[in-house]
Chains A and B, each alone.
Chain A
């Protein structure tokens, strides 16, 4: 509208005050205030259930039917109604002043349209030639070749698709771009490229960027300001170095602790007990009180106000005064750095039996070579990781090990550690929401697994399995729908253990869990390894997880192992260029 008037850098591009969204079941977010200036990156950090997606939708007037928003929202100097029903008022705002970059590049683009047409979609009333020129310019800006305009999304890699989505989001030159978990679905190297791209576009266009993420380290590395959301309320807000370096809210501090470090190994990962509550069920109390080690009586009787702890740094914690400067909510247990080599399993030389040995494994799907001659050993009681990006062949490897695919050539030998015959290796998949049969109760699922393992299908056995994964026996009567993601993943582990396998394959088993829950499950797997003498094969893209969970690591790249060895050796002194690239791509690598 006033495109001719150049806005000075640093002016306010978006400001939301007292944003509250209410759904049929009660409040979802409450009193969220946010300011984004041009040229500034604001990170919104939160776990699932924190309300970060609802916030993104409220800011773009895209709330689903049934949700009602209150508060004030100003975008580019115009007050905008929060009511998503008022479509007319959003015209000329959404898509031109503010755009949303969706999470999943695999579903956000239409499979039936050329990328060029999708990028040009918001350009109305322009000639064909003008649109084509705009698309060319947009593609060049996101670093894609011109030919992409005539290609379909399925012809492109995930990173390229997300670049197309970026080009489409930015073609109208918005003042503010909201990236809602825009890099979560991407590999770590691609993630870095897209984040770099967003940062450079933001600089050249002097645009405000709201980076919504579950990953505090992404926000720390990329954002100027960070807002930490917890159960629909702001827990902490301030400059990125202050929030991530000297957190004033116990939740932020614990969240930082839960994030597994990349450069050293912990004996035990710190966890936050419990899970994120629903705001509607909390009432007049601190939402974090139930999980907070520092909670006092007053924490459960009033809503803590967002109070300034330092200039421009606010936290919603009643005990903030007591904790200021001490790094709030330090975990009770010390973060002991274990000497990574001391507890490493003895390798073949020590004469331990291999529970899995793979020799010269090959597998192709049509023209695509997934595995190109792979040798791998897992010894009894050992935990071994295979790291690689999507397309590296790591999932194919996992599926061959558990017998879901058959190899083209090579051998896979599974041996029992004890005298009894080897139970087939079991697998835990990535997505907890499809891990369990929705039409069976947990107890039935476990009984079926026990029967498959030729074991008695008694209640006692089911209870024992649930206890093994630290779930109460009453869960046997529940259905998967009543369980959280972390709990479902625990049941999936219990089901796998029902046949008493010697080897458990974890195919990205923790990568779709929240950071705090991820730590709980990793600790559980580590405990089971000790108590049951279980060997674990981790398939992962996450080097920090691998650092904590595995003693030895294999780096898989295009169907071949490019490097292997003790985890600490490989990650600290990577010998291969590809490993170095992976290490360098880890967002804001922790010390």
Chain B
């Protein structure tokens, strides 16, 4: 992005460019998505409140179809209520992705900023490291790691942080590169501010909107990735409620209770979509606020 060559106070001051938008102006979608996310957050933080005894089994009952008395979506082959199981699975579906997005954002800021600001050797080393990570086949790596260290939820989270980080590093690096040549940053250099202060005080606030928006998108990606790995049996251990796990378990019940498969699938799609919509809106709002200030 370059500064427009319009004279000071040109047309840009007078009219904001009209954006063609796909979503309605009133942003009903954003409101609904926020509500959905709030519900998901409650499920994740207080599973006991929404879904007590989510893993309670009633083996005698066995698998039942939706509409069974007391079981809105029926039960699985262990007699676990699908509604409670799905709500109870929210925590593992959300917490891991949140940690992944946070972790890869941290990597992005800590490695991407110096890569963009210093360039040269620093950039070379960090860029090659990112390229190396990007070249790894994620799923295969997860299977291999699980085979060696035995898998598990937090191992998967750690692995995904490392796999997610190169795109964050590249994103932050690009944004910093663009900021670096701005006169106010050059002025800071001329004032002999330390590189650390220039990077994290002068540059970072200006690239924050991109980072925050990308953080939101990463949560959505991570939900899908975590669920995929759980589906492959690499995420949460057997027995614990988790959407990806449920998808795996539910496959066998496709004929007897399709809800066991559909409910977690719908939750994954809805949550990921809601996060995307809110993330988009947040990015626009942050940018608009930056422009208005």
Contact = CB atoms under 8 A, between A and B. Distances in A.
Interface of A: 23-25, 28, 48-49, 53-54, 57, 64-67, 103-104, 106-107, 181, 184-185, 214, 402-404, 424-427, 429, 431-440, 445, 448-449, 451-453, 479, 481-482, 484-485, 492, 495-496, 498-499, 512-514
8 cross-chain pairs, A with B, having the tightest CB-CB distances, nearest first = A439-B205, A104-B5, A48-B8, A429-B183, A452-B191, A66-B15, A48-B9, A437-B184
Nearest to B18: A65
A333 to B, nearest CB: 27
B202 to A, nearest CB: 6
B188 interface: yes
B198 to A, nearest CB: 10
Contacts of B8: 48-49, 432-433, 484-485, 512-514
Contact of B184 (A25, A214, A404, A434): A434
Interface string B1-29: 01101111111001111100000000000
Interface of B: 2-3, 5-11, 14-18, 182-193, 197, 201-202, 205-206, 208, 290-293
A429 B18 contact: no
B14 A429 contact: no
A53 B190 contact: no
A54 B14 contact: yes
B15 A64 contact: yes
18 contacts: A49-B9, A54-B14, A65-B17, A103-B7, A184-B7, A403-B190, A404-B190, A424-B191, A426-B191, A427-B187, A431-B183, A434-B183, A448-B197, A449-B191, A481-B293, A485-B9, A512-B8, A513-B8
Which one of B8, B205, B208 has the greatest number of beta carbons of chain A within 10 Å?
B8
B55 to A, nearest CB: 48
Contacts of A103: 5-7
Contact of A433 (B3, B16, B201, B293): B3
A427 to B, nearest CB: 5
A481 B292 CA distance: 7
A334 to B, nearest CB: 31
A280 to B, nearest CB: 10
Contacts of B15: 23-24, 64-67
Contact of B187 (A425, A435, A512): A435
Contact of B182 (A185, A434, A514): A434
A404 B189 contact: yes
Given A107-B5, A479-B293, A481-B291, A436 B10 contact: no
A499 B191 CA distance: 7
A498 B191 contact: yes
A481 B288 CA distance: 12
A492 B5 contact: no
A104 B2 CA distance: 13
Contacts of A438: 184, 206, 290, 293
Contact of B188 (A23, A448, A453): A448
Nearest to B10: A53
Nearest to A423: B192
B14 A28 contact: yes
A181 B4 CA distance: 14
Contacts of A512: 8
B152 to A, nearest CB: 41
Contacts of B184: 434-438, 445
A57 B290 CA distance: 28
Given A448-B193, A449-B191, A499-B191, A214 B14 contact: no
B276 to A, nearest CB: 26
A53 B6 CA distance: 9
Given A427-B187, A448-B201, 5 more contacts: A24-B14, A424-B190, A426-B187, A439-B208, A440-B205
